[in-house]
């Protein structure tokens, strides 16, 4: 029984790392495709988790949510550096939007992949099958919730950045400026949303997505 519990915890940690570290790498990789070598030159396109771990976002917050029985799990890694001016110069605002949404796209693809394989291990009995089942289940859940969370139009989340670039593309300069102005207060807004019933409504699309992919 203890071995199974260890397998479950390891499955959770591994799935979380794959979700949030891959999310950040994808930002840098897409930017690199548009000529920005910032992330590559700093070694941030590596799959080595040590270069991406944020003590708070990668370890403390997810662990707190998991062990307190929170209805959702999320976290973050150290942001991969991107020179958005280089990206925009080479690919326009469309490229900037692609960079902003790259991590979310990765999370959704990974969630669908995990959901596709999950029926193959629906009866976890031994330690190996228990690990496989909980790994795929957590991989699906974490990626869906991470994708939905990052789509919120609140800076510094990806949804806000994509909206800002789209507004600049359309010439909606007041909207782009407004998003820039609320940037310093973004984390406060996020903490308020997560700590109140508002968060339940904001995460409802994740439940819809889970039902869709399953």
- Residue 74 CA to chain centroid, in angstroms? 8
What H or E segment, with its residue span, contains residue 32? helix 2-33
Polymer length of the chain: 214
- List the one residue out of 58, 56, 92 whose CA is nearest residue 166: 92
Question: What is the distance between the alpha carbons of residues 27 and 96, in angstroms, rounded to a whole number?
Answer: 10
Active site residue 180: no
How would DSSP label each residue in 55-101? IIIIIIHHHHHHHTT-S------PPPP--HHHHHHHHHHHHHHHHHH
Q: Contact, 152 vs 142, CB < 8 A?
A: no
Question: What is the distance between the alpha carbons of residues 63 and 143, in angstroms, rounded to a whole number?
Answer: 16
> ∠ at Cα 95 (162, 202), nearest 5°?
20
Residue of 15, 24, 106, 134 marked active site: 24
22-32: burial string, b at 16+ Cβ within 10 Å, e else: bbbbbbbbbbb
Q: Among all residues, which ones are annotated catalytic?
A: 24
């Amino acid at each position: 029984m203890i071995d199974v519990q260890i397998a479950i915890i390891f499955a959770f940690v591994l799935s979380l790392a794959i979700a949030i570290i891959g999310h950040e790498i994808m930002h840098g990789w897409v930017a690199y495709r548009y000529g920005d070598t910032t992330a590559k030159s700093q070694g941030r396109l590596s799959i080595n988790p040590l270069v991406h771990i944020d003590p708070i976002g990668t370890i403390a917050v997810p662990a707190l949510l998991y062990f307190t029985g929170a209805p959702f799990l999320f976290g973050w890694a150290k942001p991969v550096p991107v020179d958005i001016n280089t990206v925009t110069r080479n690919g326009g605002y469309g490229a900037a939007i692609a960079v902003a949404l790259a991590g979310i796209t990765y999370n959704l693809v990974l969630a669908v992949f995990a959901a596709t394989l999950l029926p193959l291990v629906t009866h976890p009995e031994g330690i190996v099958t228990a690990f496989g089942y909980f790994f795929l289940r957590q991989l699906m859940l974490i990626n869906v919730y991470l994708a939905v969370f990052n789509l919120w139009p609140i800076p510094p989340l990806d949804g806000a950045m994509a909206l800002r670039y789209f507004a600049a593309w359309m010439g909606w300069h007041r909207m782009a400026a407004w998003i820039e102005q609320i940037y310093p207060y973004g984390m406060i807004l996020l903490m308020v949303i997560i700590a109140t019933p508002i968060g339940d409504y904001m995460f409802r699309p994740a439940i819809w997505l889970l039902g869709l992919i399953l």
